[in-house]
Structure formats: structure tokens, C-alpha cells
Amino acid sequence: MLKKLLFIFPLVLFASTLNATRLEEYLIDTPTAKVAPVKTFNSTSRIFSEGGFINFFTFTPFERFSIGTSLTIEHLVGTDDDDLKILPPSLQLKTRLFDGTEILPIIALGFNNQGFYYDHDEDEYLQKARGLYLVATQELFLKDLMINYGGNITTDGFEFDKLHGFVSLNYSIADYLDFITEWDNIRSIKTSRVNSGFRIYIADFFALDLAVRNYNNKAERILQVKYNYTF
């Protein structure tokens, strides 16, 4: 019953979506410097390995500022309800500091304490959350080719750890199709992660992501469903 409700909820919201804006606040794992228009609600649902499920909810209550949360459910897909584990929710914040020019990038400051792959024995995430980050976004050489780059201090909950870097590219191959690639968690070659995939736009407010995370180490296929609504 719980699984049915969790999958029906996004469908109900999708059906009520009448006014929306295409926006790329996040790619696969890495952020961009973009912030949604005021009164925009965004939801991203991700299915990952071992039947895991994460849903990110973000809302923009003020100009240049968004706030959100995410919830991770382990063993949701393809297992019995008895195996379900719901982890504590996380917090996402982002504020756009600079709107950018033809030469200078858009700049944003954010915080995200959603980690990945929770180790119940050690009581911590194996892949630390992005934590506090600074990101810049600008067009690169070609029309519809965007580069996003920045640095972050990873966190476990609200305890800050180490400085890392990230860089990503997204290119609109067609009106309905974007190619995405990102180099994340850059501190050493061994611990960094390379992610790539495609974003398919069913409509401006509704997109499907097919991607591979960490394919330079232990590759993982993920599926994301993204939609947004502007009130």
C-alpha cells in the first residue's frame, strides 16, 4: 500500500500541472547557479540501485532564493514493505548572488546535506552530502552549451568535512533532448565520480533523466522523473 501511495502522489501533482517553466537547477548530482522563478514548486524522483528511492521537493518563496527537502526510502522498489527503511529528511537551500552578464557567469551559493548510500552499521552516508557550495553557470563557446563549475565543503548531516570541486556540461541536442556530463567530488582521481546521461523533455514542465553515475569506478544506472509547477 505504501509503495502505491508514494508513486500515485507524483502522478496526481503531474496531472495538476498547468503552468510551468523549464529550468535546470540540478543536473544529475551537481547544481547549477540557476534559481526557479518565485512561487515555483519542483519535484525530482530518483530510482537507484537496490530498489532505493529519493524524492527532492523544492519551492521558491522569494526572488533569488529556494528552499527544499528530500526523503530517501531504501528497498522501495521490488521488495516487501517489511524491508522498507525511511531515512531522516535532508535540507536544500540556494540563493542567486549574481545574475551574470554576456561575459561573467551567474553565481549562486547553496547548501545540500543529502548524502547517498547510508551505512547503518557506521551510521553515516558512504557518499557524503555536497554541503556548502558555490557554483557558477555560463554559456560556453556554442549556443545551448552550458558549463557549471564550483567548489563545496562536504558534510555528514551538519558536520562539515573536506573541500571538493565539481564541473559539469549540459548541451541541448534538440528541443526535447539534453546531454549531461559531470565530474563530481573532485579531490583525488580515485574518489571523484563521473556521471553522464540524457534528459528527455516530454514537456517543458516534465522531463525524464536516464543516467549512469560513477561509471569511472562502480557504475550505477539511475532513472529520474522531474517536474515543476509555477503558481
- The answer to whether 94 and 66 are in contact (CB under 8 A) is yes
- The tens digit of pLDDT for each residue in 171-199 reads 999 999 999 999 999 998 888 999 999 99
- Does residue 230 surpass a pLDDT of 90? no
Judged against a pLDDT cut of 50, whether residue 16 lies above it is answered with no
What lies within 8 Å, CB to CB, of 4 at 6+ separation is none
> In DSSP terms, which residues pair with 54 in a beta bridge?
46, 72
CATH of the domain at 107: 2.40.160.40
**Is the confidence at residue 9, as pLDDT, over 90?**
no
Structural domain total, the chain: 1
CA distance 191 to 127: 10
pTM of the model: 0.87
Average pLDDT, integer, range 80-102: 88
- Structural domain span for residue 193: 2-230
Q: What is the mean pLDDT of residues 90-95?
A: 97
pLDDT given at position 22: 67
pLDDT over 90 percentage in the chain: 64
Residue 4 has pLDDT above 50, yes or no: no
Q: Is the pLDDT of residue 129 over 90?
A: yes
User: What does the pLDDT average to over 16-40?
Assistant: 82
What local confidence, expressed as pLDDT, does residue 191 receive?
Answer: 87
Q: Is residue 100 scored above 60 in pLDDT?
A: yes
Q: CB burial class (10 A; 0-12, 13-18, 19+) of residue 104? A: exposed
- For residues 132 and 54, give the distance between their C-alpha atoms in angstroms, rounded to a whole number: 20
Q: Is-contact 127 105, C-beta < 8 A? A: no
Q: What share of the chain is helix, strand, coil (3-state, %, to 5)?
A: 10, 60, 30
CA separation for the pair 24, 151 (Å, rounded): 18
